[in-house]
Every structure is written in structure tokens, then in C-alpha cells.
Amino acid sequence: MPVAKTNSQQKQAYERLRWLLILQQIPAGERLREAEWAGKLGVHRTSLREAFAKLEADGLIEAGPSTGYFVPRIEETDFREVNEIRLALEGLAIERICELRRNTSRILKDVIKACERFDQCIRENYLLGSAEADHRFHEAIVEAAGSRRLLMLYRRAPLPLIHQQMADPTAWIARERRTVEAHRSILAAIRAGKAAKTLRLLREHLLRS
């Protein structure tokens, strides 16, 4: 297989799997079987192995005791660590946005768009879409800070979205509506330039999740 095609497939497999893992779309504890995922992603198994190795280095999957890779289970300590890191990175972005007066509609347009997209997904009962919009809202805040290094650090950190799985659609909609309201409150506080209030709202939002 040509090197360029191998690199392209490795990148495709890595990016797709990373997105699914961050959105918690692959069950914790599940073994990532090469033949199955190579078929799902339409890539060669060699490229998939390279993607797996990179995802393990990112901390998003774990090597098995003998062979293969598994999706790690998220323990209570992991919840705390993920939220602490997100609060630190997103909090730094919020302080930068307010301090540098980057809280304009133009700069925050992607944050606003993600908030609106989340609301739309709930109305349409689109579960995966709401998870994507949730992740995009937080990432767009970091983007709005205008710091290339901060954004690079945020994107490279293995920070899965932490949320409780809910089988009851009514409970899911109620939870997602609370998330939308939290996002709106955070956005309003950023636009008002109130860094301390925004950080308090963000901390409450992450702890509730």
C-alpha cells in the first residue's frame, strides 16, 4: 500500500475513533476488535493499528493484558480529574476572552452557533447531535480565547464528555434542557464580560454533569 494512502487511512481512523471516544459512543470496557473496526471505518488493519497506538498514547484507549485494545472504564476519580482539567483550560480561556475583550458577537459566533445547535438537537431528539454540539460549545469557548497553544493543548487532552447514560427519553430530554440553560447562562456571562461569574457557572455545570 502506498505510504500516502496508509497515512491518510491512519489519520481517518484516528480522527473518527477519537471523536467517538470523546463523545462516549463506544461502551466502556469494550474490546476494539481490529477486523470489526477496519470494516466499519473502511481502512487497512495496518493503518488501524497505528491509529490505536496513537489513541493509547492520548490516553483514550488501553492495551489489553495480552493483546488488543479496550475502552477504559471511567471511575469516580476520572470524573473529578477530567472536570478539573476542563475547568482549568476552559477557565483560562474565559479569563482571556474577558480580559482582552474578545467577548464580541463576531468572535463568539461559533459558541453561539453551538448553543443554538444543541437546542435544535434536543427538539429533534437527536442524541449524537446533542453530544457533538455539547463538545463543540466548550471547544468554541477555547477557540474564542485566540491562543493557538491553549487550543492545541485542549484538543490534545483526552477529555471525554462526562454524562450519565439514561435509558428513559423523558429523563434524557430534561437533563439536556438543563444543559442548554447552563450553556446559555455561561454564554450570557461571557458576553457581559463577567469572568468570575462565568467561572462559577462553568464549575457548577461541570459538577452537575
Q: How many domains does the chain have?
A: 2
**pLDDT computed for residue 75 by the predictor:** 79
Q: Residue 191, exposed/middle/buried by CB under 10 A (0-12, 13-18, 19+)?
A: middle
> CA 5, CA 122: separation in Å to the nearest integer?
38
Which residues constitute the domain of residue 81? 76-208
Residue 107 shares a structural domain with residue 167: yes
Residues 39 and 130 in one domain: no
- Residues of the chain with pLDDT > 70, as a percent, come to 91
Sign for the pseudo-dihedral over CA of 152, 154, 157, 161: negative
Domain boundary among 33, 53, 70: 70
Average pLDDT, the chain: 88
Average pLDDT over residues 125-141: 89
Q: What pLDDT is recorded for position 162?
A: 60
Q: Which of 52, 70, 88 is the last residue of a domain?
A: 70
Residues 129 and 199 in one domain: yes
Q: Can you give the pLDDT at residue 194?
A: 98
Q: What is the CATH number of the domain that holds 24?
A: 1.10.10.10
Q: Specify the range with the lowest mean pLDDT, choosing from 63-72, 183-192, 193-202.
A: 63-72
66 and 80 in a single domain? The answer is no
